[in-house]
């Protein structure tokens, strides 16, 4: 099975890595990775709507 950049598992991994970067104080990298995952989630929204919501949640946390 091939996982693309818009697959829910890939988006979850991107969000988890962004969270790790955030915890390490790598805020710019964390934000960029989260924004990238948002863009990919938006493109695949019709197929993977739940992952878009999760990524959006993490992005809002990073912006606090």
Predicted confidence (pLDDT) at residue 27 exceeds the cutoff of 70: yes
Q: Which residue ranges make up each domain of the chain?
A: 8-62
Predicted confidence (pLDDT) at residue 44 exceeds the cutoff of 70: no
pLDDT given at position 46: 54
Q: Are 43 and 3 in contact (CB under 8 A)?
A: no
Positive or negative CA dihedral for 36, 46, 16, 27?
positive
Give the whole-angstrom CA distance, residue 7 versus residue 60.
Answer: 21
């Amino acid at each position: 099975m091939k996982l693309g950049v818009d697959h829910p598992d890939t988006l979850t991994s991107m969000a988890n890595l962004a969270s790790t970067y955030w915890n390490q104080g790598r805020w710019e990298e964390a934000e960029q990775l989260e924004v990238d995952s948002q863009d990919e989630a938006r493109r695949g929204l019709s197929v993977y709507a739940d992952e878009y919501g999760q990524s959006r949640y993490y992005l809002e946390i990073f912006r606090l």
